[in-house]
Amino acid sequence: MQVHGVFFAVLVVLVGTAQLDGMPRRVAVLTSSALPAALLLVQLVRRRIPRPAPWWIVVLGLLILTFHNVRSLIEVGILGAPAVTGIGPRITLPVAYLAMLVAAAIVAFPFAQRDVGGVIDGVVVAIGCASVLWALVLQPTLVQRGAGIGDLAYELIVLLLVSAIAGSVVRALMISRRARPVLMYLLLAVVMTMSGNVVGGMLRDPVTGAQPWWIAILWITGYLALGAGALHPANVHLGDPDVRTAGRLTPSRFVFLGLVLGLNPVLAGLTALTGGEVDWLLLSAGTVALVPLVLLRIAQLTMLHARAEQRLSLLVAYDELTGLPNRRTLNDHLDRTLASVAQGDADGVVVSFLDLDDFKIVNDEHGHSVGDALLIEVGRRLTGALRADDLVARFGGDEFVLVCTGDPAKVEPRVREAVAQATAEPVELGTTTLTCRTSIGCAAVGSGSVTTRDQVLSLADADMYDAKARTKGSVRDRRARPRLQQPV
C-alpha cells in the first residue's frame, strides 16, 4: 500500500505540473523518468531488489529516456523550439524501448519456463494486433499528415517493440498471482508508453513536430508506473511463478498460428484490392517479427507432442509406480525368451515369482503411501541385485516376476541368493522401519524345452506358495491358479 500511495501522490503532482505550458511541463516529464531511475539505482546499489538483472536494464532504459527528456527540456523548454529535432530522438527512444523489451524478456523468463507457448502466443497476438492497428489507423493517418519513410519506420518499430513487451507482460499477469501487483504496474507502464507513441504519432504536427500537451501525462504515468513496479515488494515473486501450464498440439493452435503468419500478407492484399498502396514497410517488419516467433511456437508444440508420445509409450510399457517393466512388457519379453530357449538359441531360463510377505498388514497399519514406497524400494533392490540383462517386472500388487536366462542349474541358486541378500536388510521410510521379507518360487526351462508363458508363470507361482506355506506352516491367502502336474 505504501508504494501505491507514493505512486499516486507523485503522479498527481506531476500531472498537475504538466498542465502548465513550457518549462514546467518539461520538468514534470523529466522528473517522471529521472526520479524512478534514481530511486531504482539506489535500491540496486544497496542490494535491496531480488533478481536485479532486469532492473539494471530498466535503469539503463530510464537513463536513456532521461537523456532524451533533458534534450527536450533544453530545446523546447529553454530554447523555445516546438519539438526536439535531429537524429538523436530517433535513436534514443527505440534504444530505450529495446532495453525495456530485454528487461521484460528477463522478467518473463521464469514464466516462459513454465508457460513457453503462452508467452510466445502473447507476443504473437500483441504484434498481430499492432499490425492491424498500424495498417488500419496509424499508417494512413501518418501518411495523410505527410510523414516520411523515416518517420513511418520509426513509429512502426517502436510500436512493434512495445507491443511485444505488452504481450509478454499480459501473459505473465494471467498465470501469476503473487507477482500480480508488479506485473500490473509494468503493464500500465507499457500501455501508457504505447498510447503515448500511437496517439502522439497521430496528433503530431507535421511541420513543427509538436504534440498536444496531454500526451505528456501518458509518458509521466508510464515512467512512474515502471519505477513503482520495480520498487514494489511483490517483485520477489517474479522469479518464482506459482502456476505451471502446458500447451497442446491441437488443430486450433495450428489454425491460429497460420492466421497470424498470413496476417500481414492478407492486409497487403486487401490494400492492393481496394486500390491502395501496399505497405511494404509493415509487410517486411511484421514478417521479420512474426515468422521466427511462429516457427518457434510450432517447434515448441512439436516438442511437447513428442514428449507426450514418449510418456505414453512409457506408461504402456512400464509400471507407473515403480518404473519397472509392467505385465505387458513381461509377457512380450517372456514369449521371446521362451521361443529362443525352445529353438536352442539360449541355454535356458529361470522364471521366478516373488511375493512380499504380510504386505497387506503394511498397508493396513501404515497406509498405502508407505506401502507404495516399500514396493518402490524392493523394486530398486531387486534390479540392483541381478544382472543388467535380467528382467525385473512388477506383475501386480505386491508381486514381482524375474526372468533370468542361462543354465538353470547355475542361474536358479544365484537368483535365490541374490533375492535373499537384496531383501535381508530392513527398509527405512522416514520414522518407519519395515522388513521386506519375500517368498520366491522358481520355474526352470532347459534349452530345447517347449512350453508357454502361462505354464511357466503357473509353475513359478505354485512354487512360491509352497515356499510361503513352508515358512508359515500353513498355506494362507492361496489363490486358485492353473498348475502343471509335471515339471517343465
How many residues make up the chain in this entry?
Answer: 488
Distances 223 to 7, 64, 136, 199, 313 between C-alpha atoms, Å:
11, 12, 28, 17, 52
pLDDT of 485 reads 35
* CATH number of this structure's domain 327-472, picked from the four choices 1.20.1440.230, 3.40.1080.10, 3.40.50.720, 3.30.70.270: 3.30.70.270
Enter the C-alpha cell of residue 317.
510399457
Enter the C-alpha cell of residue 66.
532521461
Enter the C-alpha cell of residue 131.
499490425
pLDDT of 49 reads 82
Coil, strand, or helix at residue 446?
A: strand
Q: What gap in Å lies between CA 356 and CA 466, rounded to an integer?
A: 14
pLDDT of 379 reads 94
Q: What gap in Å lies between CA 485 and CA 488, rounded to an integer?
A: 9
β-strand 438-446 against 348-356: which pairing, if any? antiparallel
* Residue 74, strand partner residues: none
Helical axes 359-366 vs 368-385, angle rounded to 10°: 140
pLDDT of 250 reads 63
The one-letter amino acid code at 160 reads L
Enter the C-alpha cell of residue 70.
533533458
Angle formed at CA 367 by CA 366 and CA 371, multiple of 5 degrees? 90
The one-letter amino acid code at 73 reads L
Instruction: Encode the chain (488 residues) as per-residue pLDDT tens digits.
Output: 577 888 888 888 888 887 877 788 888 888 988 998 998 899 889 888 877 888 888 888 889 888 888 888 888 777 777 666 666 666 777 788 777 767 777 776 777 667 777 778 888 888 888 888 888 888 888 888 777 887 788 788 878 888 888 888 888 888 778 888 888 888 888 888 778 877 877 787 766 667 787 888 888 888 888 888 888 888 777 766 665 555 555 677 667 777 777 777 777 777 777 777 767 777 777 777 777 777 777 777 777 777 777 777 777 889 889 999 999 999 999 999 999 999 999 999 999 999 998 898 998 888 999 999 999 999 999 999 999 999 999 998 999 999 999 999 999 999 999 999 999 998 888 888 888 888 999 999 999 999 999 999 999 999 999 988 887 654 334 333 333 333 34
Q: What gap in Å lies between CA 208 and CA 146, rounded to an integer?
A: 12
The 8-class DSSP code of residue 325 comes to: B
Unique residue bearing C-alpha cell 512350453: 451
Q: What gap in Å lies between CA 152 and CA 15, rounded to an integer?
A: 29
Give the other-Cβ count within 10 Å of 302's Cβ.
11
pLDDT of 69 reads 85
Answer yes or no: pTM beyond 0.85. no
Hey, where are the domains in the chain?
2-311, 327-472
Helix (H) or strand (E) holding 455: helix 453-472
Cβ(73)–Cβ(26) under 8 Å?
yes
The 8-class DSSP code of residue 79 comes to: S
Reading phi first (left if > 0) and then psi (alpha if -120 to 50, else beta), residue 396 is in left
Unique residue bearing C-alpha cell 513550457: 22
